[in-house]
Structure 1
Amino acid sequence: MKIDKIINNNIVSAIEADGKEVVIMGRGLGFGMKPGKEIPEGKIEKVFRLDSQNSTDKFKELLANLPLEHIQASTEIINYAKSVLNRRLNQSIYITLTDHINFAIERFKEKMMFTNPLLNEIKTFYKEEYLIGEYAVALIERRIGITLPVDEAGFIALHIVNAEYNTAMRDTIDITTLIQNVVKIVKEYFSMDLDETSLNYQRFVTHLRFLAQRIIGGEMLNSDNPEFNQLISQMYPEEYACSLKLKDYIQVTYHHDVTEEETAYLAVHIKRIRM
């Protein structure tokens, strides 16, 4: 590949055979080089292929003034996340997480750190992503010599969640808060603690996550099985009554009509976690 633009001493861009622009990282890759020159294969550390030209332009603008070590750390964290989760992450993660990590490191140097009010919920609802956040904090300490607080593991986990489910950070926070409040209502309704390590609890949280995504996105599950809904209300009257309470909460708080089918599914999951 030949250089199209030099972004800084470590970052250049090139045009591939299909006409798409890629961003290429490598220590000293752009030093003393000019557009049109062949890129030395041995110096290429990473080729970034983003989903759109707009994302590519934003990424180039972001990388122009960032230390190479911060970019490398972010890239290594994203690669680790992909391998652990074994699923595709939205390419915007290269922009959002790299920017966040750089900002977190700069804030640390200025002794200006933020607490994470959702840290406990993130640990509970997004276990895999939080462990990736812990890995990221440890990697940053090894690579850059900065010991970020545990709150940052939670923030990084939310960025991973965003990329998994293709949501904006504000929506992810809203989804997490909704799950938190629904779980609290169930606990209070039955005056019981829930085993957060159980498989049924994890299934419940996963169901709530997708329900919350539909609510935040204004989508609705079609209700076309009245026999099922009636059966669940008869089999699990207490759990169904609790799910009606959740339905009212969601209606009042989020102005979203929970269908009878969604209400019945909630009752089934509540029954499981009560077992």
Structure 2
Amino acid sequence: MIPPQRLVVQRVHNNNVVLALDGRGRSLVVTGPGVGFGLRRGSQVDVSRVEAVYVPEDAARAASAAGTLADIPHEVVTTAREIVDDAQQITGLTRPEILLLPVADHLQYAIRRAQEGTEISLPLVWEVRHLYPRELAAGDRALAIVRARLGTALPADEATAFALHFVSATFSGAALDRTVSMTEALSTIFDLLDARLSVPLDRNSQSVSRFVTHLRYLFVRLAEGRDVTVVPGLMSDALESSVPETMRLAREVAQALNSTWGHEISEDETTYIALHIHRLVTSADSP
């Protein structure tokens, strides 16, 4: 994020981290080598010294965020900024300014785990690969940046964790736990489909990839509170009469999504889900 032209110091946490007010009256955190040197409350920040800007989603947390960033080694914060900048180039992040702290904080603990030989299990790797391929590519790049800048080789699965941070920044007001819920919804749906179908689905097949693409757009609509375009009545009637089991399965999927989102899936959307399930099952049964 390009720093504002005018920043007034609220608190100097150390030479590298300052809590400041911009011209719009927002509290934000700026970092950079020597950015806080010799400053005191009410001083104007030399914006040429600013390397990165963090704008909390909740302004009340700005002071706490500044304290957290001040406790993270500067080289880790600098690497986190490079990761966010790189992810913006790859994924087109519209709100990179909210990512500096969570990415720096995650990176610090990931490095510590790698140094201590502690491994963590991330069960959502397949789901992230299919739902968020661009973000996962940025996560892979993040590991390369960490290796080049800090000399630490993080486990490959850490790319998934970084990817989830990038995804969280694409949904207005969405926290990381909301993003994880979206990703877990995909796992829940496929567990449900596997339990109802005679043969488990091949998660790496083209038909599954197409189905996941539909679900990805469905999740975006749910996040934005938008309903699907009205489905022609003939389509709904045809599916109901020709593949009633598929319609029942689609309603089970819709009910699972209702529980995750707290937002009722419309009958039109359920019909679209049934259509994609029918295509999925037909493709899976084909030789």
Q: TM-score range by the shorter chain?
A: 0.7 to 0.9
Contact 1:25–1:44 under 8 Å retained in 2: yes
1:270 matched to which residue of 2?
277
2:28 matched to which residue of 1?
22
2:79 to 64, 67, 73: 73
Contact 2:72–2:104 under 8 Å retained in 1: no
Q: What SS does structure 2 have at the residue aligned with 1:24?
A: strand
1:3 matched to which residue of 2?
9
Cα displacement string for residues 155-179 of structure 1 (whole angstroms, at most 9, x for unaligned residues)? 1111222222343333333332221
- Separation in 1 of the partners of 2:117 and 2:203? 38
2:3 matched to which residue of 1?
none
1:178 to 179, 182, 185: 185
- Separation in 2 of the partners of 1:86 and 1:156? 15
Q: What SS does structure 2 have at the residue aligned with 1:5?
A: strand
- Separation in 2 of the partners of 1:244 and 1:19? 48
Q: What SS does structure 2 have at the residue aligned with 1:117?
A: coil
1:260 matched to which residue of 2?
267
Q: What is the 5 A alignment of 1:112-261?
A: 112-165=118-171, 166-186=173-193, 189=197, 191=199, 193-194=201-202, 196=204, 198=206, 201-209=208-216, 211=218, 227=233, 228-234=235-241, 239-247=246-254, 258-261=265-268
RMSD: 3.5
Q: Which amino acid aligns with 1:34?
A: R
Contact 2:53–2:97 under 8 Å retained in 1: no
Contact 2:258–2:264 under 8 Å retained in 1: yes
2:88 to 82, 85, 96: 82
Paired residue total: 272
Structure 1 length-normalised TM: 0.80
1:56 matched to which residue of 2?
62
Compute the displacement of 1:197 (Å). 6.4
Moved more, 50-59 or 77-86: 50-59
Moved more, 71-80 or 19-28: 19-28
Contact 2:16–2:70 under 8 Å retained in 1: no
Which segments of 5 or more consecutive residues in structure 1 lack a partner in the other structure? none
Moved more, 23-32 or 151-160: 23-32
Compute the displacement of 1:141 (Å). 1.1
Counterparts in 2 of 1:211 and 1:112: CA distance versus 1, 3 Å: same
Contact 1:91–1:163 under 8 Å retained in 2: no
Structure 2 length-normalised TM: 0.77
- Separation in 1 of the partners of 2:274 and 2:241? 11
Compute the displacement of 1:251 (Å). 7.3
Contact 2:95–2:169 under 8 Å retained in 1: yes
